[in-house]
A and B are shown apart, each in its own frame.
Chain A
């Protein structure tokens, strides 16, 4: 590759179109060197430049009194009280996870961890939102296995508990599984580390793993569709080393306790290039790098390879003058590489030297300011098919089928491979509550964490579906008793050059913006992954929402497990909406109709009511009504609590399987009192039944034993993965 002449053909190979290459020539005033072309191509890739999405992302609400840093930093930062901040973000590693599931998923976890601890936080929780192809497709099993092993292999080793997430299956992900990893950390609110370089002459330091030839052009690969040759892209996938990451976390946190650091950023996508360009660019300074000083694990690496390598577990730090020795001592203690590889300048340029030659010299301002920005054409999504003739619901049979279907079956097989307790702060483990609850060590505070998206809703109506994803995250946090604070959004879509895909994106952003505004739930960080297509077939649009909330007292958190002798009460309107429901898909065999409408004012009113009743101690267990509808929500509460119940009410499918929004099922000692209180507040509520016994007795008189429910619920994953 290094022998190829630099010209438009090579630029095209690197992912730059003719117009973009012309702009490079204009900025440089000459033909760029290979290294320079490499730098331009990764910085202007979709992955790094957000060139198709930026115009839309600007419209998202990002502010609230508790937001300390919104989008633009490595991760979002919100105040959680007691002088502390939560730092969090979700990021995709979709393309690598299809090519090499284990390493793709593992390095996805590693990358998002670095985004969080680079800001000064100790990571306290990981979550992940996963979408896989049709379980009947033989490739799916291999991808599930590799992704789950990869997430566990990395997260378990670094000692950060994996506490939650979600999994969907759909044929639209056959060629493009989605791996969205979220990390949450805690830092003192007045000790947040940022990435803007400052101080002419200050040393630029490289720490962590050595640089190898892995992941070269990973960012470019992630900015294109797959063809039949996806396998051939394996060399663009990075290889992770969680042991080094663990050392890097400890060493960085130790260094952060000193005053040595001016600015710090991890070397993520586009490695040394993006970290140096972004740090200097944000600080309005120049930067000079001497690649001979870069720790290398392979011989004979060129400047081009070093600048584009995506070797993992590396950080770039600008130090205060004279802080080199204390920094060196800390990294040597942790047996990590440390090297001064450059310094800041007043030239406004990045200068890259290697073996006595200047391999790149690029003015930073135009590299950033003249980066391509596209207002791509959009087209509305076609209206979903109308719902056709549907059979009458058979409550017991349909429930048993639904709770065993791939989207609702127990995820225990997956969770049982993730260490969810390390750290000793996990109050609610995966599946125990609507959001995971992680206490803050040494405080009574706890975080409530969730990821949510219902892609079939988004496909049917991108704006309503995206608003629903935000509302569900808000609801899941509320259902634990926590106060929702902010979200991170991980936008996974197909090829933005197709107007319908770009239209999905634009509408989804509008839906997120509406919901965030109505719920005071701003977006503080995010990530965009486009070109999730294989051979022209796009994924379902998937704006995955990672939500964070706070509880002043961890002991006040409620889970979803019902106990004997409780009344079950529906808070929210009586359901009837079967469009895009799982019942319609799994029982009636139709993916049709509009998704359930989202009434954000009702969401807020109902959620605030439920949260207050949890805080007062009246609500003992709570579960939001989501996929599968009311009867599935009740069944999940009963299975979690190992208790039966007798339900009363209508016997129609719309009531028990409709997926209307803004609803919760709560377990209380006195259901009549709660119903009266809700109605007094103008909120619909209805007594559903009472818990007790060993089975679930339905309004049509049929009874299902807990054992039957549980065996139906627990069958899917072991059957898929272990037979």
Chain B
């Protein structure tokens, strides 16, 4: 798997993501500076977490206008795999590569803790190494993770099976308490219709090593690596 990680000014989880990708694939990902435009030859492009442009206008809004985004759109149009985590998810929605928006957390406070996610479908290259309905743990760390879309969009996402991760209790129950940031329908991650683009708020890349408290995030990267092995 040839993976690239896009670095906008203010991105800060690019090294975490590189560790997770290299651990799964045995290959160092390419770091892509936001002014680069040639993304040929990459199987997977990842936009990691952080505070691109300080989140100053609106999370992800400035990055979505950056030169590299045209090349990312072209990659997506070619059917390339694209993963946006946290700020990366916000950027994908701002770039309209995924529907909806990430609003301020319902508590109006930054949230940093482990959450539990239920894997809603496994016939995707992102989740093939999980079991359907499996509950995994992942750290979350964001101030704006409250997924929002209009009812019609939410119904379409649900109808087409594009909700891929949901905030749940450790036993898999969908509750308001498990939904710390207040997301519509407990949505933590969604897919594009071709299931090649995924946006996700929590950070599976920070839970790939037993030393850091668990490996629940590892199957995501191992699944991608297996699917995209060249």
Contacts and interface: CB of A to CB of B under 8 A. Distances in A.
Given A424-B19, A424-B205, A555-B211, A416 B54 contact: no
Interface stretch (A153-161, A578-586, A647-655): A153-161
B144 to A, nearest CB: 12
B211 A417 contact: no
Given A334-B9, A422-B12, A157 B109 contact: no
A418 B53 CA distance: 20
Nearest to A336: B9
Contact of A421 (B20, B53, B110, B139): B139
A149 B212 CA distance: 26
Nearest to B50: A159
Interface residues of B, number: 31
B15 interface: yes
A243 B51 CA distance: 7
B169 interface: no
Interface in B1-53: 9-10, 12-13, 15-16, 19-20, 49-51, 53
A427 interface: yes
A439 B211 contact: yes
A424 B54 contact: no
B15 A441 contact: yes
B222 interface: no
Given A415-B112, A416-B113, A424-B206, A159 B13 contact: yes
Contact of B54 (A241, A419, A426): A241
B224 to A, nearest CB: 17
Among A422, A423, A554, A555, max chain B CB count under 10 A is at A422
A335 interface: yes
A151 B16 CA distance: 22
Interface string A567-598: 00000000000000000000000000000000
B111 interface: yes
A608 B126 CA distance: 48
B112 A417 contact: yes
A247 interface: yes
Interface in B108-130: 109-113
Contacts of B206: 421-422, 424
Among B110, B113, B213, max chain A CB count under 10 A is at B110
Contacts of A555: 211
Given A156-B141, A159-B13, A422-B13, A416 B51 contact: no
Contacts of B213: 427, 429
Among A149, A246, A424, max chain B CB count under 10 A is at A424
Contact of A243 (B49, B53, B139): B53
A420 interface: yes
Among A152, A158, A417, A439, max chain B CB count under 10 A is at A417
A425 B16 CA distance: 8
Interface in B43-86: 49-51, 53-56
Contact of A156 (B9, B20, B110, B209): B110
Contacts of A157: 10, 12, 51, 54-55
Nearest to A430: B112
A213 B211 CA distance: 47
Nearest to A553: B211
A695 interface: no
Contacts of B53: 243
A242 B12 contact: no
Contacts of A247: 9-10
B16 A419 contact: no
A424 B10 CA distance: 17
Contact of A423 (B10, B16, B20, B55): B16
Contact of B112 (A242, A421, A427, A554): A421
A650 to B, nearest CB: 37
Query: Which DSSP category, helix, strand, loop or mixed, fits chain B's interface?
Result: mixed
Nearest to B12: A159
A715 to B, nearest CB: 17
B203 interface: yes
A417 B109 contact: yes
Given A417-B112, A555-B211, A422 B9 contact: no
Nearest to A416: B113
B15 A424 contact: yes
A441 B113 CA distance: 22
A472 B50 CA distance: 35
Contact of B10 (A246, A416, A421): A246
A426 B19 CA distance: 13
A546 B28 CA distance: 36
A424 B112 contact: no
A415 B139 CA distance: 13
Nearest to B107: A722
Contacts of B110: 149, 152-153, 156, 417-419
Contact of A420 (B51, B112, B205): B112
Interface string B200-230: 0001011011011100000000000000000
B29 to A, nearest CB: 14
A554 B16 contact: no
B53 to A, nearest CB: 7
A91 to B, nearest CB: 22
A420 B12 CA distance: 13
Contact of A418 (B12, B55, B112): B112
Contacts of B13: 159, 422, 424
Contacts of A427: 211-213
Contacts of B16: 422-424
Nearest to B139: A421
Nearest to A244: B54
B137 to A, nearest CB: 12
A426 B212 contact: yes
Contacts of A420: 112
Contact of A422 (B19, B20, B141): B141
Interface in A84-115: none
A158 B205 CA distance: 18
Given A419-B141, A421-B141, A243 B10 contact: yes
A244 B56 CA distance: 11
Contacts of A334: 9
Contacts of B50: 159
Contacts of B12: 157-159, 246, 422
A415 B114 CA distance: 12
Nearest to B18: A424
Interface in A132-149: 149
Interface in A401-437: 415-427, 429
Nearest to A246: B10
Interface string A331-361: 0001100000000000000000000000000
Contacts of B208: 424
Among A152, A421, A427, A429, max chain B CB count under 10 A is at A421
Contacts of A417: 109-112
Contacts of B139: 421
Interface in A52-83: none
A157 B11 CA distance: 9
Interface in A382-403: none
Contacts of A152: 110
A439 B9 CA distance: 25
Among B50, B53, B203, max chain A CB count under 10 A is at B50
Interface of B: 9-10, 12-13, 15-16, 19-20, 49-51, 53-56, 109-113, 139, 141, 143, 203, 205-206, 208-209, 211-213
16 contacts: A153-B110, A157-B55, A158-B12, A159-B50, A243-B9, A243-B10, A246-B12, A334-B9, A416-B112, A419-B141, A420-B112, A421-B139, A422-B12, A424-B16, A424-B206, A439-B212
Given A157-B10, A243-B51, A247-B10, 15 more contacts: A157-B54, A157-B55, A158-B12, A243-B54, A417-B110, A417-B111, A419-B110, A419-B112, A421-B141, A421-B206, A424-B13, A424-B206, A424-B209, A427-B212, A429-B213
User: When A and B form their complex, which 9 residue pairs have the shortest distance between CB atoms, in order from nearest?
Assistant: A159-B12, A243-B54, A424-B16, A419-B141, A157-B51, A421-B139, A421-B206, A417-B110, A419-B112
